[in-house]
Amino acid sequence: MDERSSCFDKGGFNLNPGSTQSNSEADVGWSDAGRHFPPNVPAVSNLTCGIAASEFYAYLVTWSNPDHNPDGSVFDNLAGHIIYYLKVSGTTTILAQHYIEPSESFAFKLSELPPKSNYVGVANYNTMGSISSMEKAVIP
C-alpha cells in the first residue's frame, strides 16, 4: 500500500512523503483525504500586495524573508519562492502557481491573473525541496 496521499509530488517536488498523521496540516486547493506533516521551512512575513508604481506592471507583491528556521538555527538554504494565484471564498483554491528565484518582491500584470483570482500567496522552498506554509494577501 502506498502511504502517500493523493497530493504527493504536486509542483515538481516530492512533497509531504510518508504516512499521514493526525497532527499535521491539509494541502490547500487539492482534493485530499490525507493530512501532512507541518512544514519545517520558515514562511515569509510582512506579505503585501499593492498597486505597482510602474506602467509595465499592475501589482507589486512584497515580503520579508526569514533569517531563522523554526528551531532557531540560521535559515541559509533558501532556494526560491512559489507564487500562488488564489481564489478565496470560504475555502482556498490554487488557480495557478509558478516558481521564482530568491527575492523579496514580485510584480505581475492584470492580464496574468487567472479568472476569479482575489488573493496572491507566497511560500518559500529550500534546497531540499521542502516548502513553507503559504502566506496570503488580498489583490486590491
Mean pLDDT of the chain: 79
Is residue 66 located within the same domain as residue 17? no
- 56-106 residue pLDDT tens: 789 999 999 999 988 889 999 999 999 999 999 989 999 999 999 999 999
pTM: 0.71
Is residue 89 located within the same domain as residue 29? no
d(CA 49, CA 63): 9
Is residue 49 located within the same domain as residue 111? yes
Domain of residue 30 covers 1-38
DSSP letter at 132 equals P
Is residue 26 located within the same domain as residue 51? no
Number of domains in the chain: 2
Is residue 132 located within the same domain as residue 89? yes
The pLDDT value given to residue 115: 93
- 10-22 residue pLDDT tens: 444 444 444 344 4
Minimal CA–CA distance to 63: which of 41, 42, 44, 77?
44
Is residue 65 located within the same domain as residue 10? no
Is residue 28 located within the same domain as residue 59? no
Is there a contact between 65 and 104 (Cβ–Cβ < 8 Å)? yes
